[in-house]
Amino acid sequence: MKMKKFTKTHEWVEVEGKNATIGITAHAAEELGDVTFVELPEEGKEVKKGEALCAVESVKSASDVYSPVSGKVIEVNTELDASPEIINEDAEGKGWIVKLELSDESELDDLLTEEEYKNSL
């Protein structure tokens, strides 16, 4: 069963089994404006919850993307290299950034539900 959670720092994570797909929220993409560059992490990189996972640059600014959970990077969305604007078009779908192998599922409990996230905006 899929489960989708959100962070206060505007990331989303969708979990299926041990795999977590991560991106920035549609709201964050709109706030950033035209995304021009996504600095993707290396596959195999270990990240801790709350650490900077990668960076998304828009014409106007650079923003860190913080990992909602701890784990190991198992896949990156290389489509974003050629077409970073996918994030503006579909931030919570085709604009996903990385997939992690979760190391601690209990961390998901601290994250926001979609409703909680929307209320926080």
Nearest to 63 by CA among 98, 39, 83: 39
> Per CB under 8 A, does 31 bind another protein?
yes
Quick one: tokens of 56?
Answer: 């998304």
> Per CB under 8 A, does 14 bind another protein?
no
Output 30 or 105, the one with its CB closest to another protein: 30
CB of 82 to another protein, least distance (A): 12
Phi-psi region of 33 (alpha: psi -120 to 50; beta: other; left: phi over 0): left
> Per CB under 8 A, does 90 bind another protein?
no
CB of 60 to another protein, least distance (A): 5
- Decide: helix, strand or coil at residue 119: helix
